[in-house]
Amino acid sequence: MTLIDTPAAPFDASSFLSVNDLRVQFPTEDGVVKAVDGLSFSLERGRTLAIVGESGSGKSVTSQAIMGLINRASATIEGQVVLEGQDLIAMSNEDVRRLRGTTMAMIFQDPLSSLHPYYSISRQLVEAVRVHQKVSKADARKQCISMLDRVGIPSAEKRIDDFPHQLSGGMRQRVMIAMALLNSPDLLIADEPTTALDVTVQAQIIDLLKSIQQEFNTAIIIITHDLGVVADTADDVAVMYAGRVVEYGSVEGVYRRPQMPYTLGLLASVPRIDRARVTRLDPIPGTPPSLIALPSGCAFRPRCTFSAEVPDNLCSDVRPDLVEAADGHQVSCHLTPEKRLRNADAMFALLDGRSEAGVQAATPSDPESGDPA
């Protein structure tokens, strides 16, 4: 091995947020569900980390564990979540509750079921202010109106008395964002913030999150399955599979030189709007594993097309560690660095080759058709 293969950067408690070897397990009748199985990352203020993965990869459980939203009676949580020097896992529920809202806040996927249908927007927002600040109702209401205004709700002083059902999906998501920002948190976790929204509204919300980050220097964790949203919003990306991070690095590095076969598969299987049709999509074969009975060794091995290239049954016997493959780019895979890079190059060559052929065949009569912008 010629390329650097050093162990991943050790746990760095000086970061704004650092998560070290987080494990969340839910005991069930059928066995123990290892929803998050040894997760580590760190995040600085003003940066955005995207956590991508399919359903059941543990991305939402990770965010709930950080926010202290998992009932400790029904799950075992191990590891460290250190936010500005304080370990949230070791803290009491009461102390975490005090941080929730002021230091960290969350935006949920479904704005309709996350807002109470029975109470007006104003009542729900004013409550969120007065839990953490000693202010009068009138002052809290003023704060809420200016925040609604800030997130782009027209005539906020009128709409604040509406009920959730009177607002559209995009407006409800703006209310959720306003609620999360009321006590100016330093960490914002957005769990699939745009999945329930239409693309034109999604563009508005992404734009809003970016400008809020610039204004308040917030650290954002965005959880999504949409690779396009990641490329659009995040600085760093963690790809999760079966409760573990399998690839971590800057968005640029991971998208340009994906090294883990799963990331490669994800990028190859999505059709792209800015490319002419490829002859055929390359799906990842099979389905994600059950979190109760994970495959031995690498959890992705049963679906991996390259595991035959690894000698000594390493893939089925030994679970690969997350190791540094390039500057800040970590991968959990037994393939040699040369093979991983060769696979990435082959995939891009394949995609480019196909799409160029497609463009030529598509509209030869229109000379300007190749320039969509």
* 294 lines the binding site for another protein (CB under 8 A): no
| Minimum gap (Å) between residue 38 Cβ and another protein | 23
C-beta of 64 vs 355, nearer to another protein: 355
* 190 lines the binding site for another protein (CB under 8 A): no
* 283 lines the binding site for another protein (CB under 8 A): yes
Alpha carbons 71 and 24: distance in angstroms, whole number:
11
Q: What residues from 41 to 60 belong to the interface with another protein (CB under 8 A)?
A: 54-55
Q: CA 345, 346, 349: angle at the middle one, nearest 5?
A: 85
> Which of 12-20, 41-49, 213-221, 249-257 is the region at the interface with another protein (rule: CB under 8 A)?
249-257
* 282 lines the binding site for another protein (CB under 8 A): yes
* 32 lines the binding site for another protein (CB under 8 A): no
Do residues 124 and 162 make contact, with C-beta atoms less than 8 angstroms apart? no
User: Residue 325, CB half-sphere, CA atoms under 13 Å: how many?
Assistant: 27
What's the start-to-end Cα distance of the chain, in Å?
44
User: Of residues 23, 123, 132, 277, which one binds another protein by CB under 8 A?
Assistant: 277
User: Of residues 28, 272, 317, 350, which one binds another protein by CB under 8 A?
Assistant: 272
* 232 lines the binding site for another protein (CB under 8 A): yes
| Minimum gap (Å) between residue 238 Cβ and another protein | 15
Q: What residues from 298 to 337 belong to the interface with another protein (CB under 8 A)?
A: none
> Which of 37-45, 92-100, 105-113, 267-275 is the region at the interface with another protein (rule: CB under 8 A)?
267-275
Residue with tokens 């308040």: 216
| Minimum gap (Å) between residue 358 Cβ and another protein | 8
User: Of residues 94, 271, 308, 312, which one binds another protein by CB under 8 A?
Assistant: 271
User: Of residues 58, 111, 193, 288, which one binds another protein by CB under 8 A?
Assistant: 288
Q: What residues contact residue 26 under an 8 Å CB cut-off, 6+ apart?
A: 32, 33, 35, 74, 75
* 110 lines the binding site for another protein (CB under 8 A): no
Q: CA 87, 88, 90: angle at the middle one, nearest 5?
A: 70
C-beta of 157 vs 235, nearer to another protein: 235
Alpha carbons 85 and 16: distance in angstroms, whole number:
8
User: Of residues 131, 278, 326, 347, which one binds another protein by CB under 8 A?
Assistant: 278
Alpha carbons 278 and 357: distance in angstroms, whole number:
9
Letters for 142-171 (x = contact with another protein by CB under 8 A, - = none) are ------------x-------------xxxx
Alpha carbons 327 and 4: distance in angstroms, whole number:
9
C-beta of 136 vs 305, nearer to another protein: 305
C-beta of 97 vs 256, nearer to another protein: 256
Residue spans of alpha helices (H) in 73-189: 93-99, 111-114, 121-132, 137-150, 156-159, 169-181
Do residues 237 and 263 make contact, with C-beta atoms less than 8 angstroms apart? no
User: Of residues 29, 94, 312, 371, which one binds another protein by CB under 8 A?
Assistant: 371
* 70 lines the binding site for another protein (CB under 8 A): no
**What SS3 class is residue 153?**
coil
Residue with tokens 């890079």: 341
| Minimum gap (Å) between residue 339 Cβ and another protein | 22
Do residues 103 and 84 make contact, with C-beta atoms less than 8 angstroms apart? yes
Would strands 48-52 and 236-241 be described as parallel, antiparallel, or unpaired? parallel
| Minimum gap (Å) between residue 241 Cβ and another protein | 10
DSSP codes, 191-227: ESTTTTS-HHHHHHHHHHHHHHHHHHT-EEEEEES-H
Q: How far is CA 5 from CA 9, 19, 278, 317, in A?
A: 11, 22, 35, 20
C-beta of 23 vs 225, nearer to another protein: 225
Residues that bind another protein (CB under 8 A): 54-55, 154, 168-171, 198-204, 206-207, 225-232, 251-252, 255-256, 265-267, 269-274, 276-278, 280-285, 287-288, 359, 362-363, 366, 368-373
